[in-house]
Amino acid sequence: MYEKYWGLNELPFENVPDPRFMYHSAQHEEALMRLLYATKAQKGAAMLSGEIGCGKTTVSRAFVQELSSDEYEVGLIVNPTLEPLDFLKEILFQLGIEKMADTKPELLHILNDALLQNLVKKKKTIIIVDDAQAIEDDVTFEELRLLLNFQLNDQFLLTLILIGQPELKNRVAKIPQLDSRISIRYHLRPLDAKEVAQYILFRLKVAGMQKNFFTREAIDKIHEYTGGVPRRINNICDLSLLVGFSKKVELIDSKMIQQLIDDSK
The 10s digit of each residue's pLDDT in 214-263 is 999 999 999 999 999 999 999 999 999 999 999 999 999 999 999 999 99
Q: How far apart are CA 144 and CA 154, in angstroms?
A: 20
pLDDT at 64: 93
On whether the CB atoms of residues 92 and 110 are closer than 8 A, the answer is yes
Partner residues linked to 185 by β-bridges:
47
- Percent of the chain's residues with pLDDT above 70: 100
pLDDT at 1: 87
CATH number of 26-188: 3.40.50.300
Q: Does the pLDDT at position 2 exceed 90? A: yes
Q: Residues spanned by CATH 3.40.50.300 within the chain?
A: 26-188
pLDDT at 3: 96
Q: How far apart are CA 79 and CA 130, in angstroms?
A: 7
Q: Does the pLDDT at position 153 exceed 90? A: no
Mean pLDDT of 175-195: 94
Q: Does domain 3-15+191-263 have CATH number 3.30.70.890?
A: no
pLDDT at 152: 83
- With a CB cutoff of 8 Å and minimum separation 6, the contacts of 129 are 77, 80, 135, 144, 160, 161, 162, 163, 164
pLDDT at 242: 97
pLDDT at 98: 87
Q: Where are the beta strands (DSSP E) in 59-157?
A: 72-77, 124-129
pLDDT at 151: 86
Q: Residues spanned by CATH 1.10.8.60 within the chain?
A: 3-15+191-263
